[in-house]
Amino acid sequence: MINKKTDHPRGSKKLIGAWTLYDWANSVYSLVISSAIFPIYYSQYIFSQTNSVIIFNFEINKDTLISSVSGFSFLLIAFLSPILSGIADYIGNKKIFMKFFVYMGSLSCIGLYWFELETIEISLLFYTLALIGFWGSLVYYNSYLTDITFPKQTNIVSARGYTMGYIGSVILLLINLIMINFYESFGFSSEINAMKSSFAIVGVWWLGFSQYSFYHLPKGNKGVKIPRNIIWNGFKELKKVYKVIRSSKRFTRFLLAFFIFSFSLQTVLYIASYFGVSEIDWSSSSEQTSGLIISILLIQIVAIGGAYIFTRLAQKYGNIIVLTFAIFLWAGVCLYAYYINTPSQFYMIAGLVGLLMGGTQPVARATFSLFIPKTKDTTSFFSFYDVTEKIGIVFGMLFYAIAAQVTGTVRFSVIIFMFFFFLGAVLLTRVPRIDKNMLA
């Protein structure tokens, strides 16, 4: 059956391809800006001469500054996402909201080219808008999963999306690293200018490739008159979805387990580089820098295999069983990480993290989408998934900061997250399994 809102039938290769390409488009932000090049630029260039900055007459430590701005951005997304999702479902056009966040985020990435200490306030505004654009677009992107696939396709399509993201982000990161290391050959006056240009390239990549997705994804309603009480109607849509979620053991138990293991997963990924810097015995600073880059690439590459291995297992043994198994393995990785000291052990951990990251993320997303009943309010449903993840990230970062402050070491914090992973796995065992009728 042809969906009237798009030229492509549900489950078609072109429609699925357009959806997965958005992961290719946006994942370069999470790798280049969040994990690899921007953190190095921020720490080693912006704050090369000082560890703090004066903002609005307050002296703030550089690490406190970036973590506080990031935490505020996640809280803002958590607040806005459900409201905008309800409005998107009410007017029947989520694409216009997705476009807004994509354009805001990608153009702000280009703006990071001018990130300087002398203009730190406007620089942090670009950083904030880029982060909000990236994470804000994902709730609409994720909600398309149930619109474009049949249940039996959901697991493999979710994995394909993440895989496209892993591949695309690695390709652009390698291009950027070559450009930075051989900056003169590319016409840059310095390594720093090459770094700054890489941020702009991320924005152009994100903006450019997303156009294909926008062209082929379901168009939504057009010419809808926006009533004066649109926000109130958005809340009504949200309230209706909340009642469904609240009355379902499957939803409530899964979201509680997801909150626990998601904030643990995201925080472990966040502190991985800090762990590598402070807890691993590198022979030199240059080996440390190259080692961290290698580990980041290793995580992304191994994640490709993890996505397909765990997706196939989920198809055979069931999503909840496989997801529970993966979370138990996360706890084991945290225990192993506590005892490592050498670069080779750190690379081993990176490989395991990549395998489990690739396995956990697509299966978790697919599992939640399979719980959603047949409805047009898919964005509102995914906004609860999105808010759970964002609040979890804030909670995890706060918990890590407290644990690091009390213990004085990153190493001990991984043991704490080991227990949270274990708790998340136990909570998952209480979630009703997906029966075969839901996959028909």
Residue 435 DSSP one-character state: P
Residue 104 neighbours by CB under 8 Å, 6+ apart: 129, 132, 133, 136
Least confident among 94-98, 368-372, 377-381: 377-381
Query: Radius of gyration (Cα) for the chain, nearest Å?
Result: 21
pLDDT of residue 160: 95
Higher confidence at residue 51 or residue 3? 51
Q: How far is CA 364 from CA 23, 40, 140, 270, in A?
A: 16, 31, 16, 19
Burial of 37 (0-12, 13-18, 19+ CB in 10 A): buried
Backbone φ and ψ for 55, nearest 5 degrees, come out as -130, 120
Q: Tell me which amino acid residue 54 is.
A: I
Burial of 146 (0-12, 13-18, 19+ CB in 10 A): buried
Q: Tell me which amino acid residue 20 is.
A: T
The tens digit of pLDDT for each residue in 384-414 reads: 888 888 888 888 878 777 777 677 677 888 8
Instruction: Tell me the pTM.
Output: 0.86
Please, are residues 106 and 75 in contact by the beta-carbon 8 Å criterion? no
- The arithmetic mean of pLDDT across residues 268-294, rounded, is 83
pLDDT of residue 287: 85
Q: Give the sign of the dihedral formed by CA 367, CA 130, CA 31, CA 396.
A: negative
Give 29's strand partners. none
**Distance of alpha carbon 88 from alpha carbon 85, whole angstroms:** 5
The tens digit of pLDDT for each residue in 240-252 reads: 777 888 888 998 9
Residue 49 has pLDDT above 70, yes or no: yes
The tens digit of pLDDT for each residue in 294-326 reads: 898 999 999 999 999 999 999 999 999 999 999
pLDDT of residue 337: 93
Share of the chain above pLDDT 70, in %: 91
pLDDT of residue 194: 94
Give the number of other CB atoms < 10 A from CB of residue 303. Answer: 26
Which domains are delineated in the chain? Answer: 13-221+228-439 (1.20.1250.20)
Q: How high is the mean pLDDT of the chain?
A: 86
